[in-house]
Amino acid sequence: MSVILRLTRDLTRGSWNNIADTLDDHFFRCLIAAPDLLKKLFAAAPADWYRQHPRHEMWRALFHAARRPHDLVDANARGRFRAWVEAQPAPHPRDFLLLQDARLRDLLAHGWYEEASSLSDRVLASLRSPRALEMADAVPSAAIRCGIAKLLVGDVDAAAILFAEALHWATRTDEHPSARDAAEHLALAHALADRFAEARAVLDSEPGPPTRTGARAGAFARALVALNALDLRGARAALSSIDRSPTGEALSWIELHIRARAALVDGTACEMIHRLTGALVTQAALFSPTSAPGAVLRGDLVSLYHGVDDLRAAQDVLAAPGLREEDPALLLPRARHAFLLGRPDRALALLRCEEPTRSSVPARLTASGAVLAAAAELAASGTLSAPTLHQAASIVAHHGSTWALIEATPALRALLPAKAEAPTPWVYRENAQLTRRERQVLDALAMHDTLGDVAAALHVSVNTAKSHVRALYRKLGAHSREEALRLSGSVGTAGANAEAGGIAQLA
């Protein structure tokens, strides 16, 4: 007899001891497969049933949490359950896992992603121990939540490993109803890393019944795969299938990420800039500059500004307080920004000097990073080495990443063996090669606030300094001191009296 039929029979008979035994081993299965039955069960349960065993109350709290905003578990029920577990001489590992799952929900709901990631490491230790077999019903759901925690600190590869583990546990014997959820999260992790061939393969072979209404991970994965194929209609259809209930907010930022990508190619970049800026302000707790979602969305904002050729605004985003320069989510936008400013050499240096991060794959070895590195090398030196070209072409082909080709210059596209169509949302400037003297002028502008101080630093007259600065502005395409420093990638120390000194009006 199936678990659902057994629960239905015992509920009809009022056999609460049998119900407790069944839920001990199959609560998470029922939570996914039979929520309406659980709703009836918890409504009908006598008060004594909850008082006799705090685990029963915890089940009810977890059931209601799954239907509340942010998946928060009732604090009173959790507190009573914790006290009961800690009083046991030999607590069952399943009970510790229930407590850890509740704590993970709490941390993710409040945007405390680093703490959630640390807790997930402790949860993983129990999931990978021999005693995991005693809590097989809970393992897939717990592994998925741990993977989400890793995703939210930017460790996409660790997240993919955990989602794959969840899928393995859910399909190792009789199929667990969380199997499809695990597969969709795995596909999402692949798509976020531009591994679109892998994402498509998982989606095409995912187990279980059709995606339930509101399943965000699957919808997001399908939208990203559709965007990679430049199928805007398919991407919109995937997003429109999401249930707009307030649950599942931990991944809500991915919809903004997808819509920002779509805006680069559908002519709505300006509108999306306003929407994304508003989200970063109104949801500051979830999208802080130090968080992975915050970094990804700010990288998207930089790309949107690149798409409308507002390099000054893009630089302002990259220079915002709190952003970590080494954040992998911002490395590609930073490198592209340098390239768009006419500094492919700087873009290449950023990609090649990337420090090790959480991710096992550096940005230059992702599809988009490899294409940008190849484009920068070609622009910086006028030639492209065979290994660099082969690396870019093979990574793009292996992962099926058409989207990565938006980073290619026309010169690079002519060399790539795969001539797939891809949008061109921005235009790369020619390499701005400065002479030694022009570099000295630029350094003086960065260090001094007035034209007189610049002239003194260069040991020339004010009129000669003015001529040098004008020539530098023309070469960089700048109209002010601030713009010259931005376009060159230099960091200035501009003071409030710069304009009074006459530098800003030289162009």
Q: Which CATH number fits domain 3-239: 3.40.50.720, 1.25.40.10, 3.40.50.10470, 1.20.1050.10?
A: 1.25.40.10
Yes or no: say if 393 and 417 are a contact pair by the CB < 8 Å rule.
Answer: yes
pLDDT, average across residues 215-228: 93
Does residue 17 register a pLDDT over 50?
Answer: yes
Topology of the domain comprising 432-507: Arc Repressor Mutant, subunit A (1.10.10)
pLDDT of the residue at 231:
93
Kindly report the backbone phi and psi dihedral angles of residue 495, in degrees, each rounded to the nearest multiple of 5, phi listed first.
Answer: -100, 175
pLDDT of the residue at 432:
62
pLDDT in tens, 392-429: 999 999 999 999 999 999 999 989 886 667 788 998 86
Query: Per-residue confidence at 1, pLDDT binned at 50, 70, 90?
Result: low
Query: Per-residue confidence at 492, pLDDT binned at 50, 70, 90?
Result: very low
Provide, rounded to the nearest whole percent, the portion of the chain with pLDDT above 90: 55
pLDDT, average across residues 240-261: 80
pLDDT in tens, 419-430: 667 788 998 866
Could you tell me which of 108, 99, 98, 100 has the C-alpha nearest to residue 135? 98
Tell me how far apart the alpha carbons of residues 23 and 31 are, in angstroms, rounded to a whole number.
Answer: 10
What are 116's two structure tokens? 């959630």
Task: Please state, as a whole number, how many other Cβ atoms lie within 10 Å of the Cβ of residue 276.
Answer: 21
Q: Where along the chain do its domains lie? A: 3-239, 343-418, 432-507
pLDDT, average across residues 440-448: 89
Q: What is the DSSP string of 83-140?
A: HHHHTSSS--HHHHHHHHHHHHHHHHHTT-HHHHHHHHHHHHHHHTSGGGGGGTTTHH
> Which of the two residues, 358 and 49, has the higher pLDDT score?
49
pLDDT of the residue at 2:
87
pLDDT in tens, 64-102: 988 776 678 889 999 999 999 999 898 888 899 999 989
Amino acid in the structure at residue 339: F
Which residues have CB under 8 Å from 385's CB, separation 6+? 377
pLDDT, average across residues 113-119: 94
pLDDT, average across residues 141-169: 94
pLDDT in tens, 283-340: 888 888 988 999 999 999 999 999 999 988 998 999 888 888 778 889 999 999 989 9
Q: What is the pTM of this model?
A: 0.83
pLDDT of the residue at 434:
76
Does residue 487 register a pLDDT over 60?
Answer: yes
Query: Per-residue confidence at 234, pLDDT binned at 50, 70, 90?
Result: very high
- How would you label 197-226 residue by residue, b for 16+ Cβ within 10 Å and e otherwise? ebbbebbeebebeebeeebbbbbbbbbbbb
DSSP 242: S
pLDDT of the residue at 131:
81
- How would you label 165-194 residue by residue, b for 16+ Cβ within 10 Å and e otherwise? bbbebbbeeeebbbbbbbbbbbbbbbbbbb
pLDDT of the residue at 499:
38
Please say whether the dihedral angle defined by the alpha carbons of residues 213, 218, 223 and 229, taken in this order, is positive or negative: negative
Query: Per-residue confidence at 364, pLDDT binned at 50, 70, 90?
Result: confident
